[in-house]
Structure 1
Amino acid sequence: MAEGLTLIGYRYSVYTRIVRAALIEMGLEATYHELNPFSDTSDPLLLEHTPFGRVPVLRHDDFTLTETSAILRYLDAIGPGLSLVPTAPHQMARMAQVVAVTDFYGYVPLVRQVFANAVFAPMMDEVADELAVTEGLKNARPMLQSLNAIAAEGHQLNGVDITLADLHLAPMIAYFTMAPQGSSMMAAFPTLQRWWQGVADRPSLLQTDPFAGP
């Protein structure tokens, strides 16, 4: 087992959750440091490792790595179990496509617009932006449509052969479906919904739920 791993993250950060879920799936352990990148005062520990002031940050002894996709590929390479990166060229490429679609077309509408305003803001007694929710649902549709078509191929997102693509997408869908509007929209994409039902109860997701337990 790889030792000397340290993860700097924020419990509500979807990208932190992606890495924490990956650690569980890969049989790895890391010392965890919690900090809020959105606080008014920048945390010197975070700025020590990245000028962008964003989480997650992975430390492995004296090696520092940022960007979730890079962190997942590194953890997969050093993990003790089977690789979560497919070896077949078309499956490897499809995995990379799903990760890219999730990052570029999914994160903002699913998390920053719908979840942040329909779920997180009311939970924190903050003012929600209903217009952002409406815009997020509109922007989420083509992304979900694309992933639904990919899931229908059976190469990825099938809830059986877990890959880095599943780990990247699942925490975002978890947040999105916490909003009633998001849960209703998912029903319009039955193949993707079946994938979600297949991964939603994985221990890696349940154990990293920031709203469960203390």
Structure 2
Amino acid sequence: MTDPVIVHGYRFSVYNQIVRMALQQKNVTYSSVEIDPFADTVPESYLEMHPFGRVPSLVHGDFQIYETAAITRYIDQAFDGMSLVPAGAKQAARMMQVISIIDNYGYWPMVRQVASQRVFAPLYGQASDEAEVAKGLQESRVVLTTLNKIAREGLVLNCQQVTLADCHLAPMVGYFVQVSEGEKEFEEHQALNRWWSWISCQQSFQTTRPPLPSQH
């Protein structure tokens, strides 16, 4: 009997979608447990699994792991199917570089400053912080320029093979382009635009893309 796979995550989290995309690409059946990391209290049982209270975490049988990049590497190696790590030292290195760029320099401006302020704040009856949006858009430009150069090079983000780089970047872009200014900024990067047209049509992205919360 195959050990069950459980994703503990937050439905609106880009990192939750990253893990779910990787699982979809590997055709892994899994169940989900909702954990809201923004709630006043996080269940003690979850803190035993993830002492920092972030999401997501993955449970596979008696094995537990957190940190998204570690989870997706585990998924790629633990389950059958086409590899999500490209062959070749240069390609694999570029994949890890994209993941590092988006984690360290892209997530905060693209998701937390631009998308959260313009997409989520109004849904919760809050005014957007336009200074935060402007700062996020400005800091996103160097991220997009850098990723466009990598996409143009063609080692990864090349519209040929879904890798962990694609899984990691697509959910971030999915939120960013829901903001009109973000979409405009993104459209100025030709190679990334071509990649987005391709990845956004992949089943693994379409079936894991979270709906927006109901307006409060």
Shorter-chain TM range is: over 0.9
- Distance in 1 of aligned mates of 2:213 and 2:159: 25
Which residues in structure 2 correspond to 1:124-135 (within 5 Å)? 124-135=124-135
The match for 1:51 is 51
1:92 counterpart SS class? helix
Residue aligning to 1:145: 145
Tell me the equivalent position of 1:208.
208
Looking at structure 2, the residues matched to 57 and 164 of structure 1 have their Cα atoms a distance apart, in angstroms, of 17
**Matched residue, 1:182:** 182
Aligned pairs, number: 214
Q: What corresponds to 1:104 in structure 2?
A: 104
Give the TM-score, by structure 1 length.
Answer: 0.96
Alpha-carbon distance between aligned partners in 1 of 2:177 and 2:104, rounded to the nearest angstrom: 19
The residue number in structure 2 matching 1:115 is 115
Q: What residue is the counterpart of 1:16 in the other structure?
A: 16
Q: Please list every run of 5 or more consecutive structure 1 residues that lacks an aligned counterpart in the other structure.
A: none
C-alpha distance in 1 between matches for 2:143 and 2:213:
32
Kept in 1: contact 2:123–2:213 (CA 8 A): no
Find the counterpart in structure 2 of residue 62 from structure 1: 62
Map 1:62-101 → 2, pairs under 5 A: 62-101=62-101
Give, as a single letter, the amino acid of the residue that structure 2 aligns with 1:196.
Answer: W
Q: In structure 1, the residue corresponding to 2:208 is in which secondary structure?
A: coil
Partners of 1:2 and 1:79 within 8 A in 2:
no
- Identical amino acids, percent of aligned pairs: 44
Query: Which runs of structure 1 show a deviation greater than 3 angstroms over 4 or more consecutive aligned residues?
Result: none
C-alpha separation between the residues in 2 aligned to 1:158 and 1:124? 37
Which segment drifts farther, 195-204 or 108-117?
195-204
Higher deviation after alignment, 121-130 or 163-172: 121-130
How far 1:62 sits from its partner (Å)? 1.6
